[in-house]
Amino acid sequence: MNNFGQKIRELRESQNLLLRQVAAQLEVDTALMSKIERGERKASKQQLIKISKFLNANEEELLTLWLADKIEANIAEEPQVAYNAMKIVSKKFGK
Protein backbone atom coordinates (compact mmCIF):
# COMPACT_ATOMS: atom_id res chain seq x y z
CA MET A 1 0.00 0.00 0.00
CA ASN A 2 1.18 3.51 -0.77
CA ASN A 3 -1.01 6.04 1.01
CA PHE A 4 1.28 9.04 0.54
CA GLY A 5 1.87 8.55 -3.17
CA GLN A 6 -1.81 7.97 -3.88
CA LYS A 7 -2.74 11.14 -2.02
CA ILE A 8 -0.26 13.35 -3.82
CA ARG A 9 -1.39 11.91 -7.16
CA GLU A 10 -5.00 12.69 -6.26
CA LEU A 11 -4.06 16.24 -5.25
CA ARG A 12 -1.96 16.77 -8.38
CA GLU A 13 -4.66 15.44 -10.71
CA SER A 14 -7.42 17.42 -8.98
CA GLN A 15 -5.43 20.58 -9.74
CA ASN A 16 -4.79 19.50 -13.34
CA LEU A 17 -1.04 19.55 -12.79
CA LEU A 18 1.39 17.46 -14.76
CA LEU A 19 3.87 15.21 -13.05
CA ARG A 20 6.69 17.25 -14.52
CA GLN A 21 5.34 20.43 -12.93
CA VAL A 22 5.49 18.94 -9.45
CA ALA A 23 8.89 17.40 -10.17
CA ALA A 24 10.21 20.80 -11.24
CA GLN A 25 9.09 22.35 -7.95
CA LEU A 26 10.94 19.61 -6.05
CA GLU A 27 13.95 19.94 -8.34
CA VAL A 28 13.85 16.23 -9.18
CA ASP A 29 13.30 14.47 -12.45
CA THR A 30 9.86 13.35 -13.57
CA ALA A 31 10.80 9.67 -13.28
CA LEU A 32 11.60 10.06 -9.58
CA MET A 33 8.33 11.88 -8.95
CA SER A 34 6.48 9.11 -10.74
CA LYS A 35 8.19 6.51 -8.55
CA ILE A 36 7.22 8.44 -5.43
CA GLU A 37 3.58 8.46 -6.53
CA ARG A 38 3.69 4.72 -7.24
CA GLY A 39 5.40 3.96 -3.93
CA GLU A 40 8.57 2.66 -5.53
CA ARG A 41 10.64 5.41 -3.88
CA LYS A 42 10.09 7.28 -0.65
CA ALA A 43 10.02 11.05 -0.55
CA SER A 44 12.23 12.78 1.98
CA LYS A 45 10.63 14.88 4.66
CA GLN A 46 11.94 18.01 2.93
CA GLN A 47 10.32 16.90 -0.32
CA LEU A 48 7.08 16.25 1.55
CA ILE A 49 7.08 19.83 2.86
CA LYS A 50 7.71 21.23 -0.64
CA ILE A 51 4.95 19.03 -2.09
CA SER A 52 2.43 20.13 0.54
CA LYS A 53 3.19 23.80 -0.10
CA PHE A 54 3.08 23.49 -3.88
CA LEU A 55 -0.17 21.50 -3.85
CA ASN A 56 -1.71 23.63 -1.07
CA ALA A 57 -2.18 20.42 0.91
CA ASN A 58 -2.50 19.82 4.62
CA GLU A 59 1.10 19.18 5.68
CA GLU A 60 0.08 17.20 8.77
CA GLU A 61 -2.13 14.88 6.70
CA LEU A 62 0.67 14.24 4.21
CA LEU A 63 3.17 13.73 7.03
CA THR A 64 0.83 11.21 8.65
CA LEU A 65 0.44 9.24 5.40
CA TRP A 66 4.20 9.42 4.75
CA LEU A 67 4.99 8.14 8.23
CA ALA A 68 2.37 5.40 7.96
CA ASP A 69 4.02 4.19 4.75
CA LYS A 70 7.43 4.18 6.45
CA ILE A 71 6.11 2.22 9.42
CA GLU A 72 4.33 -0.26 7.19
CA ALA A 73 7.48 -0.85 5.13
CA ASN A 74 9.46 -1.58 8.28
CA ILE A 75 7.00 -3.99 9.86
CA ALA A 76 5.40 -5.73 6.88
CA GLU A 77 7.45 -8.91 7.16
CA GLU A 78 6.34 -9.67 10.73
CA PRO A 79 2.59 -8.96 10.82
CA GLN A 80 1.73 -10.60 14.15
CA VAL A 81 4.80 -9.29 15.95
CA ALA A 82 4.22 -5.89 14.33
CA TYR A 83 0.65 -5.82 15.59
CA ASN A 84 1.80 -6.53 19.13
CA ALA A 85 4.55 -3.92 18.85
CA MET A 86 2.06 -1.33 17.60
CA LYS A 87 -0.16 -1.99 20.62
CA ILE A 88 2.79 -1.26 22.91
CA VAL A 89 3.65 1.93 21.04
CA SER A 90 0.00 2.99 21.06
CA LYS A 91 -0.09 2.67 24.85
CA LYS A 92 3.05 4.81 25.15
CA PHE A 93 1.35 7.58 23.17
CA GLY A 94 -1.83 7.23 25.20
CA LYS A 95 -4.11 6.15 22.40
Task: Walk me through the domains of the chain, giving residue ranges and CATH numbers.
Answer: 3-92 (1.10.260.40)
Residue 95: pLDDT over 60: no
Asked if residue 79 has pLDDT above 90, the reply is: no
Read off the pTM.
0.83
Residue 63 has pLDDT above 80, yes or no: yes
**Residues contacting residue 25 through CB under 8 Å, at least 6 positions apart:** 50, 51, 54
**Confidence category of residue 1, pLDDT binned at 50, 70, 90:** low
Specify the pLDDT at position 5.
95
